[in-house]
Amino acid sequence: MAKELKNFTKRSDNYSQWYNELVAKADLAEQSAVRGCMVIKPYGYAIWEKMQRQLDDMFKATGHQNAYFPLLIPKSFLSREADHVEGFAKECAVVTHYRLKNDPEGNGVVVDPAARLEEELIIRPTSETIIWNTYKNWIHSYRDLPILVNQWANVFRWEMRTRMFLRTAEFLWQEGHTAHATREEAEKESRKMLDVYADFAQNYMAVPVIKGVKTPSERFAGAIDTFTIEAMMQDGKALQSGTSHFLGQNFAKAFDVTFMNRENKPEYVWATSWGVSTRLMGALIMTHSDDNGLVLPPALAPVQVVIVPIYKNEEGLKEISAKVEPIVDEFRRRGISVKYDDADNKRPGFKFADYEVKGVPVRLAIGQRDIEEGTVEVMRRDTLEKETYPIEGIVDHVAAELDNIQERLFERALEFRNRRTIIVDSYEEFKVKIEDGVFILAHWDGTPETEAKIKEETKATIRCIPFEGDTTPGVCMVTGKPSERRVLFARSY
Amino acid sequence: MAKELKNFTKRSDNYSQWYNELVAKADLAEQSAVRGCMVIKPYGYAIWEKMQRQLDDMFKATGHQNAYFPLLIPKSFLSREADHVEGFAKECAVVTHYRLKNDPEGNGVVVDPAARLEEELIIRPTSETIIWNTYKNWIHSYRDLPILVNQWANVFRWEMRTRMFLRTAEFLWQEGHTAHATREEAEKESRKMLDVYADFAQNYMAVPVIKGVKTPSERFAGAIDTFTIEAMMQDGKALQSGTSHFLGQNFAKAFDVTFMNRENKPEYVWATSWGVSTRLMGALIMTHSDDNGLVLPPALAPVQVVIVPIYKNEEGLKEISAKVEPIVDEFRRRGISVKYDDADNKRPGFKFADYEVKGVPVRLAIGQRDIEEGTVEVMRRDTLEKETYPIEGIVDHVAAELDNIQERLFERALEFRNRRTIIVDSYEEFKVKIEDGVFILAHWDGTPETEAKIKEETKATIRCIPFEGDTTPGVCMVTGKPSERRVLFARSY
């Protein structure tokens, strides 16, 4: 059983299969009976809850409040913003009826044709339309602004090809929707929330990200600007991990939301929206995990330390438990989540394998001999290195190890990304190098035509125009036309 | 403006209108553009978040974990449990298509007839079916049991007549779904979770509840037994505030979920489910609030203490703020949520009215003269009584007041309910007394026919057969047939 748990496909053999097996074996999620929708299992959900709690604290610290808007959106709302409907109408779930009835032929229940809705309702793919329709009633004067609201919700986009966490028809997310009196303030808000996402990704998920702006063809449907954080997975592909949109006055105009400014003149309201989703689970898993299973940064691990007793009999277990109890108490006092696994229906070897697959950052093992010698075995999940350490002072030691693991995971991921980020000047070289799974900084002439050609021929897209890095102008690698600066190309999830 | 805010319909004039106005003026929720669906506004949602956090802690303390299951349920799943489909098929939202397309006639978007689903999907009205279909794969042996899972989710039931929080088409809730090896263990779980709900209602919401079991005709569709907590609102009507169901093996049989017991023989799994919803917001509002607005128990108030400075000029405000700052810090250290409202665009009178309507439990006001005399004005929202108190020691004093408010609200609600709970022995008297808005303990012959007749003729239903209270047998007030014990009748929400 222990062996079977750890019997993974290697990343180097088949990265995609490794990921699928990991999600299953670490008990994170599974396919449901509904196409494209997953069941998030308790262990996977516990990680998501840690993410939610931290993000929610950060949103509140930046002045946002939560609220809740309807799941269903009248079909006509989607059409109000021209780009928005193009982006979302093609992949939505449509509610047409409000009742079932017994099948006259006796085969369970059927849709009652008499219960057809006058106007169909769409399960929200995102909530700009229903929210701006609501804001219309909330906003009259500049005194009502800004509105800084966030919603934790499920959304639905009918996807043809789905993958656990990365792309599912239903997913969980948060969507911030803010309203402002000035363009400047809204732009500042959209950049601020991108910074919050980057802070969260780097300092809690230990995932280094590149901040930048999307090209027009990769923008959110209805946005003036879409800002993004892009992370590199271990196969060198990019994962868009969070986006923040400056929406200008597009939705205010679509839903006729104006306010009286300080000069008592009506103006359209300025808007932002920003979101991260359960997709972050995919980023977390793929950035750190290895051929032995999940590797979790301590800041987001539901269990940070597990203690496994190794004993021969009831008497031995009692002795170990007496020694472990005060240690558990001290971990808790320090705010470190700890589990003492003295279950007697599983062998230590199985427990070791299980916690390894589940990515618990530090494992302590205490046997009879440790008790005699006043020691404990410490294993770090990230390095799989074991050491024997005195029981005296073990909590301080583990606390320091947890900090070190958190830092090291980030450093390791950053080094990996840096090693795999290259500068390319010719399209020929680009086509060769992109096959290696790399981020490429290259010059582009700024046209959607060239962007589309590159995508078509190499499957690589412009992930973003980075905020930082080399801003020297040059010439487009494809057309030779002038380029303002290098942009970031990659294949992506 | 201050006057307008407080200009309520009185409870005694029109209780229902009072409630609607209160929900609007306290900024709790509003109707959305989608029939029967509400928008929960930030202040209302903040109260719900406090409830969620407390309940979630209580579920985790009793060994439960959160997970997430799909929003959509295949239509055929509903039919698997015979009673269940009868209870839920009539009021569900049906997804039939997965795409919109541009209207060929140019009127926005229309449903794409080519994108019809093979099998329709239902927006979950409750999740027993999709969850038991999932549990089938999780449960093989007695070692896999119990499963103690909870889900926080939105659900949808097509309701014809809706009221904010009390009955909405979409609502937010939690639904616990547990699986057990024995009947005894499942029954114990369903009773345990009812106790958790009662604990939460009484000790956090300050809402006294009567625990009991539902009659067969009031049971959850698919349950063997439904346990309930019933609260009395200020109009004497009952509000079912939480239910816990012992489901027997019904769903295990419907979804063929068996386990190998300790004797290695297959058995069907035993189940429970239990839920509370945003309906609790309605119970909270209606139990404590008065003609001046919302009254909140301190345990669930997003802001427990508000401090309003009363000043003539910038200089005066500075002086007050300097005095208030350390007090704010001390409240925070004590874990008391406090807001210092020094906004200069609203007059103190408006602020007073606003916080009164919003039910902030304690309001402090500090003026220039208070600074000179070392005092502060303290107002309790529940009694609307003001007193002047020394600034020295104010935090201790307010902390004690908060405890006292929490207790007093419960006591007041309990006294109200006791005063309005009567014993009736004749059906004639019952028909008269029920008009007064009371809980009636009366004898009933145990038949659904008599129950239906009473409901038909008086609009009163059996809220529950209480666990506690008088268990003396008697004769049915309607038929004169034997009655095992008095049961609880009331009109209800």
ipTM of the complex: 0.96
Query: Where do the H-state alpha helices sit in B368-473?
Result: 368-373, 394-419, 427-433, 448-458
CA gap B57, B51 in Å, rounded: 10
On average, the pLDDT of chain B sits at: 96
Superfamily of domain B6-71+134-288: Bira Bifunctional Protein; Domain 2 (3.30.930.10)
Gap between the Cα atoms of A90 and A93, Å rounded: 9
Mean pLDDT of the region B156-172: 94
- Unique residue bearing structure tokens 């290895």: A290
Check if A153 contacts B (Cβ < 8 Å).
Answer: yes
Chain A residues within 8 A of B134 when measuring between CB atoms:
30, 32-33, 39
Q: What are phi and psi of A326, to 5 degrees?
A: -65, -30
pLDDT at A3: 57
Q: Find which of B39, B60, B105 to mutate to test the A interface (most A CBs within 10 Å of its CB).
A: B39
The reported pLDDT for the residue numbered A286 is: 97
Segment holding A156, helix H or strand E: strand A147-156
Do A66 and B85 lie within an 8 Å CB cutoff? no
Confirm or reject CATH 3.10.110.10 for domain A298-404, answering yes or no: no
Q: Please tell me the distance in Å from A117's CA to the nearest CA on chain B.
A: 10
Sort B388 into a burial class: Cβ within 10 Å, 0-12 / 13-18 / 19+: exposed
- Nearest neighbour of B94 by CB, restricted to A41, A100, A158: A100
The pLDDT tens digits of the residues spanning B278-298 come to: 999 999 999 999 999 999 999
Quick one: how far is CA A351 from the chain centroid?
28
Residues 169-208 of A with CB under 8 A from B: 170, 172
A90:B78 CB<8 A: no
Sequence ranges of the domains in chain B: 6-71+134-288, 303-401, 421-490
| Chain A residues lying within 8 Å of B90, measured CB to CB | 99-101
Distances (CA, A) of A32 to A169, B70, B80, B132: 11, 7, 17, 11
Residue A353 to chain B, least CA–CA distance (Å): 18
Instruction: State the pLDDT at residue A1.
Output: 45
CB atoms within 10 A of CB A216: 13
Helices (H), B26-155: 42-61, 75-78, 82-88, 128-138
Which tokens sit at B375? 């005092």
B222 to chain A, closest Cα gap in Å: 16
- Among B92, B97, B121, whose Cβ lies nearest the Cβ of A34? B121
Most distant CA atoms of chain B, gap in Å: 82
The beta strands (E) that lie in B194-282 are given as 210-213, 225-232, 238-248, 258-260, 266-268, 270-277
In terms of CA atoms, which chain A residue is nearest residue B111?
A94
B252 and B258 in contact (C-beta within 8 Å)?
Answer: yes
Has residue B1 got a pLDDT over 70? no
| Residue pLDDT, tens place only, B80-129 | 888 888 888 888 999 999 999 988 888 889 999 999 999 999 999 999 99
Q: Taking residues B455-473, what's their average pLDDT? A: 97
Sequence-distant (6+) residues with CB within 8 A of A28 are A22, A40, A41, A43, A44, A47, A164, A165, A281, A285, A294
Quick check: A45 and B65 CB within 8 A?
A: yes
User: Per DSSP, which regions of A170-257 are E strands?
Assistant: 170-180, 210-213, 225-232, 238-248
A170 contact residues in B (CB cutoff 8 A): 70-72
Note whether A94 contacts B: Cβ–Cβ < 8 A.
yes
Q: Which CATH superfamily is domain B421-490 in?
A: C-terminal domain of ProRS (3.30.110.30)
What is the SS3 assignment for A311?
coil
Q: Which residues of B touch A42 (CB under 8 A)?
A: 65-67, 149
Closest by Cβ to A72, choosing from B37, B48, B72 = B37
Instruction: Looking at the structure, give the CATH architecture of the domain made up of residues B303-401.
Output: 3-Layer(aba) Sandwich (3.40)
A87-103 in b/e burial notation, b at 16+ Cβ within 10 A? bbbbbbbbbbbbbbeee
Q: Do A67 and B45 touch (CB under 8 A)?
A: yes
In sequence order, what are the beta bridge partners of B101?
Answer: B110
- Please check whether residue B85 touches A, CB under 8 A: yes
Residue among B211, B236, B231, B225 nearest B282 (CA):
B231
Least Cα separation, residue A43 to chain B (angstroms): 8
Q: Flag if B68 and A149 touch (Cβ within 8 Å).
A: no
Mean pLDDT to the nearest integer, B194-204: 98
What dotted CATH number matches A14-71+132-288?
3.30.930.10
Q: Tell whether B67 is within 8 A of chain A (Cβ).
A: yes
Residues 435-474 of A with CB under 8 A from B: none
Given a cut of 90, is residue B437 above it in pLDDT? Answer: yes
Instruction: Measure in Å the smallest separation between the Cα of B471 and chain A Cα atoms.
Output: 42
Query: Which chain B residues touch A91 with a CB distance below 8 Å?
Result: 98-99
Per-residue pLDDT of chain A (493 residues; tens, 9 = 90+): 455 666 789 999 999 999 999 999 999 999 999 999 999 999 999 999 999 999 999 999 999 999 999 999 999 999 888 888 888 888 899 999 999 998 888 888 999 999 999 999 999 999 999 999 999 999 999 999 999 999 999 999 998 889 999 999 999 999 999 999 999 999 999 999 999 999 999 999 999 999 999 999 999 999 999 999 999 999 999 999 999 999 999 999 999 999 999 999 999 999 999 999 999 999 999 999 999 999 999 999 999 999 999 999 999 999 999 999 999 999 999 999 999 999 988 899 999 999 999 999 999 999 999 999 999 999 999 999 999 999 999 999 999 999 999 999 999 999 999 999 999 999 999 999 999 999 999 999 999 999 999 999 999 999 999 999 999 999 999 999 999 999 999 999 9
Q: Which residues of A touch B34 (CB under 8 A)?
A: 70, 72-74, 121, 130
Q: Which residue of A has its CA nearest to B64?
A: A42
Beta bridge partners of A18: none
Quick check: B67 and A42 CB within 8 A?
yes
The pTM of the full predicted model, rounded to 2 decimals, is 0.96
Which residues of chain B have a CB within 8 Å of the CB of A47?
A: none
Asked if A137 reaches chain B (Cβ–Cβ under 8 Å), the answer is yes
CB contact under 8 A, A100 and B89: yes
Measured between beta carbons, which residues in chain A are less than 8 angstroms from residue B130? 32-34
Q: Give A294 to chain B, closest Cα distance, Å.
A: 19
Q: Does A116 contact B at CB distance below 8 Å? A: no
Between helix B314-333 and helix B394-419 the angle, nearest 10°, is 70
CA distance B484 to chain A (A): 38
**Pick from B46, B79, B170: CB nearest A65:** B46
Q: Which residues of A touch B172 (CB under 8 A)?
A: 68
Determine the distance in angstroms separating the CA of A212 from the nearest CA of chain B, rounded to an integer.
31
Same fold, A14-71+132-288 and A421-490: no
Q: Which chain B residues touch A49 with a CB distance below 8 Å?
A: 66
Which of B35, B66, B96, B100 to mutate: most A Cβ within 10 Å? B100
CA A152, CA B53: separation in Å to the nearest integer?
Answer: 14
Query: For residue A201, what are the CA distances in angstroms to A152, A174, A402, B238, B476?
Result: 18, 15, 17, 48, 67
State the burial class of residue A275 (Cβ atoms within 10 Å of its Cβ: 0-12, 13-18, 19+).
buried
Helices then strands, counting H and E runs in chain B, come out as 15, 27
